[in-house]
Amino acid sequence: MADFGEYGGPIKKILGSQSITALDGDNVSTIITHEDQTGNIGDSTVVMIITTTGNCYIEIGSAATTSSFALTSTDSLICKIRSQAVLGVWGNGGTPTITVKKVVC
């Protein structure tokens, strides 16, 4: 039986973490990779827990805009992305730091 961790779910392993800094009104696109995968990684997916220190917009698979999913410092977003795909973030006031924890559930 899996242990229930910090996020209330059966997280078995944290693969790593990426930090992204998004300037106010600016898009940053980051490639998300799967640390445990070798060889052809096109079919792998990564489960992510995304948090931020401020307001931002998140877009999975392409560049973020002000129409993308809004995320605040009190939110956590859990989502899945293909390895080597783009995660777009857009700063919305200040310079938020977005933390992407990659996990195995």
Q: How high is the pLDDT of residue 72?
A: 94
Q: CA–CA separation, 73 vs 96, rounded Å?
A: 9
The answer to whether 104 and 46 have CB atoms below 8 angstroms apart is no
Per residue of the chain (105 residues), give pLDDT as tens. 445 555 556 677 777 888 999 889 888 998 887 766 555 555 677 889 999 999 999 999 999 999 999 999 999 999 988 878 899 999 998 899 999 998 876
16-39 pLDDT per residue, tens = 888 999 889 888 998 887 766 555
Residues 6+ away with beta carbon under 8 Å from 39: none
Query: Is the domain covering 13-104 a CATH 2.60.40 domain?
Result: no
| pTM for the structure as a whole | 0.81
Residues 6+ away with beta carbon under 8 Å from 46: 15, 32, 33, 34, 80, 81, 82, 83, 102
Q: How high is the pLDDT of residue 2?
A: 47
The answer to whether 21 and 88 have CB atoms below 8 angstroms apart is no
Q: CA–CA separation, 64 vs 71, rounded Å?
A: 12
